[in-house]
Structure 1
Amino acid sequence: MASPILEVEDLTVLRDNDSPLFSNLSLKLSQGEVLVLKGVSGSGKSTLLKCIAELNLYEKGGNIKLYGKSSKEWDIPNWRIKIAYVPQRPSLLPGTPLDFLTTIQNLNARQKISKDSKEDVKRIDALDLAQEWGIEKTLWRRDWGTLSGGESQRIALSIAASIGGADILLLDEPTSALDPESSKKVEESLLSMLPPVQGQTTLHNGIQRKGTGPKALIWITHSAEQAERVGTRTLDLSRH
């Protein structure tokens, strides 16, 4: 069996009152998997994603490894490129989405990863991908503050999925502001980017896998129907 891409070992995070938000949580994520996180509100789903992305402290206990190497051994900017966190609502950023895309494309850490990569990666154009999801290219030149929640959500997600370098996407309710038709378009695009899992070229819902994007996803959703469509397995944080 192939080694997991990601390993979370005995992770414990405390609330402000020192009671555990979750404790001794462990999981493994392999290539091609879509791990759906579920649980009641306040069970720590978003916090777990932020811990995996090294955006939250978890010094009370636990270890997170990417390709067998602890996060403590990684250069954190490189870690955050390899494991990209996509929040439910993008923070209000200055300028336009096109400005933001240019900025992150030119980050030193991203440039170095791209230069050192031995893989012949087929790049996805963020603007073309967003257009498939109903975002006209003219919107990329508008200020973030003038965009609707659904527009911002799809643009931020298209950047994360297309920018290159991310082996794992951490998706915090990525379609919560979208109508059902738009949600399914986004789901199908993201799933089609994944590599095959265990030698299979399709998912249970028949989507062909092309292997042109991230290698695995961790996906928070409150929709049981969406979880059934996208997930290869589920982790319930309410039990931790």
Structure 2
Amino acid sequence: MDESGTPATTSADESEKRKKRGPVGERMGIVEQTRLAPEFVAEIEKYYKYQDDVDKLVDRLEVVLQNNGAILRLGNIECDEKMDPYEIFAQNINAFRSFHTENTRAPLVEAEAVVKCLAIMNREMQAKGRRSIRKMRRFVTHEQLAMIEAQKKLMQTRDTMDAARHELKQTRTTEMVEEKGKFYERMVSEFDQQAARVAAFAEHLPIDKEEHQKELFEVC
């Protein structure tokens, strides 16, 4: 355990993670730009690749559950009330009965009952399927946006940190060195924290994969 009370193994693990996502200097114009460590970039690319694969899988599963593209584009799986094709078919059969005599309506009554049962089964199947893939659907919508936003903020933090380092190097007075130095240290800390947030998405990927596999078994 170190002086701060943090177990040594934990500090070592965090230090190793920082090395993996840590900066590598690369001069871009006047300001030296921090380039993310290759290992860190590789993990992020793996995350996006998996996310793209899940996105395609969700699209295919949704088409199985609901083949009306207009409904899927609204982000829904089930149709609005009384708008399921089977429900509309049952309504049409009911309307068609009025054109038949009383003694010839029995087959139409039976057909309507069967189609209504199919409508119920179809809605139940769609509802079960939607619940089964909810984590995958969230992964390719909410999680994707959160990851993009976190990475965007990381790049902004990096640029601020690089600018602060450049200003520190240009400073000549002791007073300004101290002021610029403190600001640079704060920016480095913010960069590390934001890099950790981005890395957390990739580090959580094994758990995401396990949850998605369970959902696939449920929907199948």
> So what's the TM-score if we normalise by structure 2?
0.28
**Greater helix percent: which structure?**
2
Higher relative contact order, structure no. (Cα contacts within 8 Å, ≥ 6 residues apart): 1
TM-score normalised over the length of structure 1: 0.26
